[in-house]
Structure formats: C-alpha cells, structure tokens
Structure 1
Amino acid sequence: MTFDVTLAAHDVDLDVSDPDTAFRSGWAGDEDYLLAEEGDDENDDVLWALDADALRAVLAESELNLVAAARSQTVIWEFDDTAPEIPGDELVSWLARDLLDTVVAEITGASKTPPRLAYAKNLPLDSALSGEEDSCLLLVGAERTALIRVIG
C-alpha cells in the first residue's frame, strides 16, 4: 500500500457563509479528482463532501481497518486472542495518526486543528486495503489543500 500526498495552495476565500460552494467554484482542482455534484451517482468516480463528524468516523474506521490488515499479515495475531484494543500501542495506528497530523499541520498551520473542508472517495479504507480500488482524501485548509491518495 502506498500513501501519496500532494500539497498545494489555493486562492479561494473560505471566510464566507458557504465555504463549500466557494471552494467548489474557485478551486482549479485535479482532473483525476473531481468534486461530486448534485445528481452524481455514488458509483461515480468523484470526491464526496464530508462534514466534521463524517470525517472523524471514516478516519476512525479506516484506522481500525489498517490495524486489521496489519494483523492479518502477521502470524502472531492468528494465535493470540489478547490483541490490544484501539487506541493502543499498535505501530500502524501511531503511523497513520502521525501521517494525518503532519498533513493537517501543513494545511492548517497547527497539528490537530481540523481542516475547513474535506472530500473523499472510497473511504473508510477497505477497498484500497484489499487492492480493489484506490482511496482519496482531499483536505482543505484556509490557504492550502492536501490530496492524500491511498493506492492498494
């Protein structure tokens, strides 16, 4: 699995009553990752808007899926029913959180500060972990974006 992160500046003023609409109309975007529009089918290859609660939920479930995938690759967990619970001192959890904190700090200027907007495709991570489809997360800060691609 590969995590590819692209950081870029955007010139969209998000200090408006509807930052999502402002971002959609002002973001030059990436031709491979278009933002879902009204009427798009859930099977369309577009990024769907996530509110703060949905973002937290898909990130938490993605972390659980990452840990499960890591455990399935090791022999020890197959025979040990005392697996630690999340959050625990699972290396994959700490690495995933560190990656996300680093990316968020790059676009917001501070670790643990939530992005202003988020858009995703194939999250939570499950299809990318099984090698079926890539996943993507676009995080938007006041002046910068981060496009995180997870390639299974």
Structure 2
Amino acid sequence: MRQYVVTGDSKLLARLYDNCADDLYHYLVSHADKELANDVSQKTWLRVIDKRHLYRSNGQFRAWLFTLARNQLMDEFRRIQRQPLSEPVDVVAQAIKDPGDDLQKRFDKAITSLPFLQREAFVLHHEGFGLQDIAQITGEPTETIKSRIRYAKKQLKRLLEMDHD
C-alpha cells in the first residue's frame, strides 16, 4: 500500500484487491444482503483509490480497508434507514435444528442471529484481526471488543448446542 500511495500504480492496486477482496466481501455479506455487500465493497475500493493519500504507513492496510468498509456500510444503513441483517434468535434456533443442513449452514444461520456489534467483532476476529485492530476499525475500546466477542461465542455455542437436544 505504501508504494501505491506514492505511485498510484494500478498493478499495485490489483495486488491489494486480489489479497483482500474476498475477506472484505465476507465481512460485508455477514452484515448485509449480497447486493448491498457488493455495492459497499465497490464503494470501498473506490474510496481506497480516492483517499490513498490518507493512508498512514504505520497501520495495517487491511485494518484501514475494513475501517473504510465499515464506515461505508454504516452510511448505507443510515441512508436507506435499514437495520443490519439479523434474524430473531428463536427463528434461527429452530432453523439450525434441521438435520438436512450441514454444519456450515447452521453456523451461518447462528451468526446471522447475533446483534450487529457482536457479529461484527466476531467476524473481524474470525478474519484474523487482533483486538487492537478491531478496536481501531470500530472505534471502540479493546475491553468492549473482548466482551462482544465473548458474548458472541457464548450465544453461538448455545444455539449450536440446541441442535443436540
């Protein structure tokens, strides 16, 4: 990214995109429908192009990218006055009991039931970000992020264990 900031070379941008686009999309689609996730992803990459001069080399590019994406996603939620994707816990609990669903589908349904802030912290942690990076991306204290991840894990465990009852 430091080289891209200086040169604006599209080949460097393509490498950044290849390295991060899938993870970024996964993060976005865990909070919004596929159409909105695609829109926000595209807008985020356009912002990388337009705002590359604002990148500070002392930070991790992925954290900066996800911060841009999160801000863009929140702007979109405000613009369309729509809540983040979420299903009621009882609906999800019933859905994950379906023996026809494989574990990944049941897990995805359970994640969808989490409150937005818990889901966000959990997904970012799952994407490989450390607590400090997640705190930077969300603008929250590290202890808050730890709590959100802990509550998310507890809720996921409860939902997935219900399958065995």
TM-score, normalized by length of structure 2?
0.23
The structure with more strand, counted as a fraction of residues = 1
State which structure, 1 or 2, has the greater radius of gyration over its C-alpha atoms: 2
Q: Which has the higher contact order (CA 8 A, sep 6+)?
A: 1
TM-score, normalized by length of structure 1?
0.25
